[in-house]
Amino acid sequence: MSTARMRAVRMTRWGGPPVLTEVARPIPRADEVLIRVEAAGVCRSDLHVLDARPGALPYRTPFTLGHEVAGRVAERGPGATGPAVGERVVVYGPWGCGLCSRCAAGAENYCDRRADLDAVRTGTGLGLGRDGGMADYLLVPSGRLLVPVGDLPAAQAAPLSDAGLTAYHAVSGIRPTLPVEGGASVAVIGVGGLGHLAVQILRATTSARVLAVDVREEALALADACGAHFGTLLRPDTAEVLRRRADGGVGVDAVLDFVGSRSSLELAVGALRSGGELAVVGSGGGELTVRKPGALPPGVRISLPFWGTRPELEEVVALARKGAVRVETEEFALSSAPEAIDRLRSGRTRGRTVLVPD
Ligand code: NAD
Ligand code: ZN
Ligand code: ZN
């Protein structure tokens, strides 16, 4: 019997373009589950992976891209647990050891054995060193990594597993620090795939004033449609503009930086109130110097949220199912993945690019 084949968009060479090719369709063994992919999101992290220098990331090539995936359970290994064949699911993406206390609590994004896993180059999760979901099928190591989505459309569900989950986790981190009295304000820098969902999640789960910043007018229009109270293009005086817009003119209570470049971090530091909160989500290569006394406002807390927990993925799916979060999508056929990825690179995407079967 010849092995069944399937299409896959592969990372074959560091710095090289994504390659649409054919590979063997995996067969689930033991606890593994095979998913028929119905949608796979394209993330700016895919560009960071494609562009990485050899050795910069602890992954072996080749592997299939795609870390934001929704689909239907197609087949289960004999020991598999969790959703049954035919059930519609999203895939929880940060694959940890599954055994440490963090993983046991559903926080595989902060698996205690990450460094050991990296050392043996087993990858951070699907599409990040391990075969991902820009393909007809995806092999998932365990049913514990699947979250049911019911009748949520696949193109809505897939982006929740990274863009939605990461934004939700970042908002969860700053939410308890926001002042209850006297109107909190939160700046969102970068209103792309993650940022437009952060704006909605802030509106749905806090009473903060949401101030959006981007370098594109279209992104600000999207921020407005998502419920931002104010939007502005990045300009030399933007930090001052944000400070004035915050309650009392003393600076914003929190910044969610979905860019992470030198200019966005400079803006964040300039706009924050003393004792404020900075969550750096974007991997834009910027750096901050921590020194006392130094340029950072006194009392500022900095966090580097990475992806999110499995329970948070369930919460963000629930928000989407009740209509409180809606992903703005641009859909492309799987066979057009290289063009879709190029379009994201050129900065023309509104919301999230999603690949669907063709
Ligand atoms: P995206 O391209 O969809 O969105 C980025 C947005 O930022 C765009 O609207 C762009 O116009 C805007 N922008 C660019 N430079 C800017 C600047 N200097 N100031 C203001 N706005 C600016 O990207 P995305 O998929 O939403 O990802 C955002 C970042 O988050 C990427 O760096 C990605 O790698 C990272 N990311 C991190 C995690 C994590 O767990 N920490 C998870 C997913 C993505
Ligand atoms: Zn991502
Ligand atoms: Zn672990």
Residues 6+ apart with CB under 8 A from 55: none
| Residues 166, 25: Cα–Cα separation, whole Å | 30
User: 336 C-alpha to center of ligand 2: Å?
Assistant: 19
Q: What value does the mean pLDDT take over residues 224-234?
A: 98
**Residue 180 CB coordination number (10 Å):** 7
User: Which ligand is the nearest neighbour of the Cα of 125?
Assistant: 2
Considering just the CA atoms, what is the radius of gyration of the chain in Å? 20
Backbone angles phi, psi at 183, to 5 degrees: 50, 100
Domain 5-148+328-356 fold = Quinone Oxidoreductase; Chain A, domain 1 (3.90.180)
Extract long-range pairs of 222-230: CB within 8 Å, 24+ residues apart.
222/191, 222/196, 222/328, 222/350, 222/351, 223/188, 223/191, 223/195, 223/196, 223/199, 225/328, 226/191, 226/196, 226/197, 226/199, 226/200, 226/328, 227/199, 227/200, 227/203, 228/188, 228/191, 228/199
Nearest-atom number in ligand 1 for the CA of 352 is: 3
List the structure tokens of 298: 């006194």
CB 245 within 8 A of CB 230: yes
Instruction: Determine if ligand 1 sits within 6 Å of the CB of residue 197.
Output: no
- To the nearest whole percent, how much of the chain has pLDDT over 70? 99
Give the span between the Cα atoms of 127 and 46, in whole angstroms: 8
Atom of ligand 1 nearest to the CA of 194: 26
Alpha carbon of 325 to ligand 2 centroid (Å):
18
The pLDDT of residue 118 is 86
CA of 292 to the centre of ligand 2 (A): 33
Model confidence at 25, pLDDT cuts 50, 70, 90, reads very high
CATH number of 167-303: 3.40.50.720
pLDDT digits (tens, 9 = 90+) for 252-295: 999 999 999 999 999 999 999 999 999 999 999 999 999 998 99
Shortest-distance ligand to the CA of residue 282: 1
Ligand 1 and 161: CB distance under 6 A: no
Contact 168 CB / ligand 1 (< 6 Å): no
What pLDDT does residue 213 have? 98
* Strand ranges, E, within the chain: 5-11, 19-24, 33-42, 63-64, 69-76, 88-91, 125-126, 129-130, 137-140, 146-148, 185-189, 209-214, 230-233, 252-257, 272-280, 301-303, 329-333, 352-356
C-alpha 182/C-alpha 8 separation (Å) is 52
1 or 35: which leads in pLDDT: 35
Q: What is the best residue among 57, 218, 283 to mutate for testing ligand 1's pocket, by most ligand atoms within 8 Å of CB?
A: 283
Query: How confident is the model over 315-330, as a mean pLDDT?
Result: 98
Cα(244) to ligand 2 centroid in Å equals 33
Given this model, what pLDDT does residue 200 score? 98
Instruction: Determine how β-strand 230-233 pairs with β-strand 209-214.
Output: parallel
User: What is the model's pLDDT at position 121?
Assistant: 83
Angle between helices 193-205 and 165-174 (to 10 degrees): 50
Q: How many CA atoms lie within 13 A of 120 on its CB side?
A: 6
Distance CA 148, CA 168 (A): 18
Query: Alpha-carbon distance 316 to 266, whole Å?
Result: 30
Mean pLDDT, the chain, rounded, equals: 96
**Residue 232 three-state SS:** strand
Please, where in the chain does CATH 3.90.180.10 lie?
5-148+328-356
Supply the pLDDT for residue 120.
Answer: 85
pLDDT, tens digit (0-9, with 9 covering 90-100), for 160-174: 999 999 999 999 999
Lowest mean pLDDT among 114-123, 214-223, 309-318, 322-331: 114-123
Q: What pLDDT shows up at residue 122?
A: 82
Distance between CA atoms of residues 264 and 239, nearest Å: 10
In terms of pTM, does the model score above 0.85? yes
Q: How far is the CA of 281 from the centre of ligand 1 (A)?
A: 8
Q: What gap in Å lies between CA 65 and CA 62, rounded to an integer? A: 9
Contact by Cβ (8 Å): 348, 324: no
Residues of the chain with CATH 3.40.50.720: 167-303
Q: Is the pLDDT of residue 180 over 90?
A: no
**pLDDT tens, residue by residue, 88-137:** 999 999 999 999 999 999 999 999 999 888 888 888 899 999 999 999 99
Q: Give the pLDDT confidence score for residue 248 in this predicted structure.
A: 86
What is the pLDDT averaged over residues 55-61? Answer: 93
Q: Above 60 in pLDDT, residue 1?
A: no
Band (pLDDT 50/70/90 cuts) for residue 247 is confident
CA of 258 to the centre of ligand 1 (A): 5
Amino acid at 130: R
